[in-house]
């Protein structure tokens, strides 16, 4: 971990960051249990990426706009999508804030919190977020727009088009590549030839930053400085946070393209365990504090799970809501 004081953080900040990392992980783990019990159909996980997600979120301010991707559970939890919201979406219930039970799980959105709705095709959120950054600049708002993608998405056309536009127009935009080294089953060695994906920033005329994605302090510092540059009129930033994906690509993936030895090594680099050990070693937290947090998060998740499981599904009539504009007649 880098020196937290150099990033302008306090011990209370570090404790708060770990709280959100732990809550995101625990919600994620509950989703897997529900899936394996046959209660929800699908899970796509962010385990191993919580340090990057909370480091990012902690540097953002009210009024900022975000375009997360499907692994950003801890990020969106911090930004205001509650564990109950997540469970309602996973169960496909009527009160799901993302879509009323229609959207794929982990396709996050929250209008009031500035979280843009996303589509399943990867990297499509980048042009959306760049457009939001353009609007913020035109309206002279002191805010930024962000987008997160996996390293696989950095090879899509939308990635290039969005970042090129952001660079040309000096937009208040930050793109974070969460490089977990696998695009589904394709390892990074078969995805790109560059040493660092952040080096691509040079071609877009923007600042590039390569950080340890398992260090929430380092990610926070990079994000904070990128935000300051954007608001000072210095344009966009491309951040590459290198981390690991601790689970299969999704609940429908057997993960056989990785050896057991490789899967075991991921647990040793678990960002949550590393950050917890750092806080304990520096006497910022103790075992009693951890025990209380464990119970607090367990209560939150148990309540959210029970409420969502008992909540009503959308009716047949509601399935057609928000598909067509109200009052529009056909031409027949």
Beta bridge partners of 146: 66, 174
pLDDT over 70 at 329, yes or no: no
Domains in the chain, CATH or no CATH each:
4-320 (3.40.50.970)
CA-CA distance, 29 to 35, in Å (whole number)? 10
The answer to whether 284 and 15 have CB atoms below 8 angstroms apart is yes
Contacts of 56 (CB under 8 A, 6+ apart): 75, 146, 148, 176, 219, 220, 223
Q: Which residue, chain included where needed, has tokens 């103790």?
A: 286
Please tell me the pTM assigned to this model: 0.95
Q: How many CB atoms lie within 10 A of CB 261?
A: 7
- Which pLDDT score, from 0 to 100, does residue 332 have? 55
Q: What integer is the mean pLDDT of 235-245?
A: 98
Mind listing the pLDDT tens digit for each residue in 164-204?
999 999 999 999 999 999 999 999 999 999 999 999 999 99
Positions annotated as catalytic residues are: 245, 249, 257
pLDDT in tens, 68-114: 999 999 999 999 999 999 999 999 999 999 888 888 889 999 999 99
């Amino acid at each position: 971990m880098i020196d937290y004081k150099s990033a302008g953080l306090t011990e209370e900040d570090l404790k708060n960051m770990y709280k959100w990392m732990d809550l995101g992980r625990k919600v994620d783990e509950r989703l897997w249990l529900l899936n394996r019990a046959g209660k929800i159909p699908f899970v796509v996980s962010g385990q191993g990426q919580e340090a990057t997600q909370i480091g990012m979120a902690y540097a953002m301010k009210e009024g900022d706009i975000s375009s997360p991707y499907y692994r950003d559970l801890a990020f969106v939890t911090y930004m205001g999508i509650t564990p109950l919201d997540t469970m309602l979406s996973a169960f496909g219930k009527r009160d799901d804030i993302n879509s009323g039970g229609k959207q794929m799980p982990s396709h996050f959105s929250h209008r009031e919190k500035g979280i843009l709705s996303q589509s399943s095709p990867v990297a499509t959120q980048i042009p959306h977020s760049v457009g939001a950054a353009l609007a913020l600049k035109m309206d002279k708002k002191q805010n930024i727009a962000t987008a997160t993608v996996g390293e696989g998405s950095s090879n899509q056309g939308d990635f290039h088009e969005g970042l090129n536009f952001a660079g040309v127009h000096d937009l208040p935009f930050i793109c974070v590549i969460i490089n977990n080294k696998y695009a589904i089953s394709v390892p990074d060695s078969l995805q790109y030839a560059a040493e660092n994906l952040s080096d691509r920033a040079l071609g877009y005329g923007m600042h590039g930053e390569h950080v340890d994605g398992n260090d929430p302090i380092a990610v926070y510092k990079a994000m904070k400085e990128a935000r300051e540059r954007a608001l000072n009129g210095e344009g966009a930033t491309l951040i590459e946070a290198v981390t690991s994906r601790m689970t299969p690509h999704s609940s429908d993936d057997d993960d056989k393209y990785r050896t057991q030895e490789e899967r075991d090594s991921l647990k040793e680099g678990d960002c949550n365990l590393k950050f917890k050990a750092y806080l304990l070693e520096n006497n910022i937290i103790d075992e009693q504090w951890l025990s209380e947090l464990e119970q607090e998060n367990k209560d939150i998740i148990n309540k959210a799970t029970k409420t969502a499981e008992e909540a009503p599904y959308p009716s047949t009539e509601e399935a057609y809501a928000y598909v067509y504009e109200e009052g529009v007649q056909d031409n027949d």
